[in-house]
Amino acid sequence: MTVRLPDEQSDPARARLLVVVAVPAEADAVLRGLGAGPRTPPGRVALPGGALDRVAHPSGVTVDVLAGGVGPGAAAAAAATALTAARYDLALSAGIAGGFAPRAPIGATVVATGIVAADLGAETPEGFADVTELGFGTVRHTPAPTAVALAAEALGAVAATVLTVSTVTGSAARAAALTARHPDAAAEAMEGFGVAEAAARHGVPSFELRTVSNAVGPRDRSAWRIGEALAALERAFALLPHPALVKEAGRG
């Protein structure tokens, strides 16, 4: 199936931002933050990767919000579909996340200084070895530092590594192992690395923004604060879109 998004982005003055979230509740929070109501066609487009909502933001940024599914595989497939269907200046993975205490408490916003695949590798007798150590591929994408600093200041956010995992951490031992290996990590989520890999293949820079719904550690569903995290996501997107940020992020 070949899909092309309408090229209403041909105005070179407008920056083009792709936001990939996992689930519709996150897309709704992002759209509320952008000041956009629930979308209907033609503002909403059905892609093979999921529903995509387009917002012509008054800041001069055209924002496409795509709910691509949970996990790095779904995120990569959805992002790649959108990146093939339209041109973007920046691909942003956004949504809720687990926060590493004490750096990122519930409700905190985190912008990624590094987007790191934390469980992509092999167990060896000496411990975990990531795919880079094994001699193939990368486990890290690095957003442009100036853009990270700009966004962190505008949002009052923590700027730190965000891990991408395929399995949500559910024990103190696993949280400690991740912290030991990634002392600079403030959050873990499940999609950032997938979006960044798809973007890299299209020559598009990537970025990640997360708001914290739960602490990384022993599994305790009663302690999740998804409403708080979605409210923080909405606040972040009320402040975030700015052509200068998209341009800075593209400087790599």
Note the residues at the interface with ligand LNDFFVEH (CB under 6 A). Answer: 22, 70, 95-98, 165, 168-170, 188-191, 213-214, 216, 219, 221
Least distance to ligand LNDFFVEH, CB of residue 164, Å:
8
Rounded CA gap, 158 and 198, in Å? 25
Least distance to ligand LNDFFVEH, CB of residue 242, Å:
25
Counting beta carbons within 10 angstroms of the beta carbon of residue 136, is it exposed (0 to 12), middle (13 to 18) or buried (19 or more)? exposed
Least distance to ligand LNDFFVEH, CB of residue 31, Å:
17
Residue type, 79: A
3-state secondary structure 147-211: HHHHHHHHHCCEEEEEEECCCCCCCHHHHHHHHHHCCCEEEEECCHHHHHHHHHHCCCCEEEEEE
- Measured at CB, which residue is nearest to ligand LNDFFVEH? 98
Of 188 and 197, CB closest to ligand LNDFFVEH: 188
Of 61 and 212, CB closest to ligand LNDFFVEH: 212
Least distance to ligand LNDFFVEH, CB of residue 61, Å:
24
Of 16 and 235, CB closest to ligand LNDFFVEH: 235
Nearest C-alpha neighbor of 211 from the set 116, 106, 54? 106
Strand partners, 109: 211
Of 113 and 214, CB closest to ligand LNDFFVEH: 214
Rounded CA gap, 137 and 58, in Å? 39
Of 201 and 219, CB closest to ligand LNDFFVEH: 219
Of 30 and 165, CB closest to ligand LNDFFVEH: 165
Least distance to ligand LNDFFVEH, CB of residue 69, Å:
8
Least distance to ligand LNDFFVEH, CB of residue 74, Å:
9
Residue 77 token pair: 């497939």
Contact 81, 181 (CB under 8 A): no
Beta strands in the chain (DSSP E): 15-21, 44-47, 50-56, 61-67, 90-99, 109-117, 121-124, 127-130, 140-141, 158-164, 185-189, 206-215
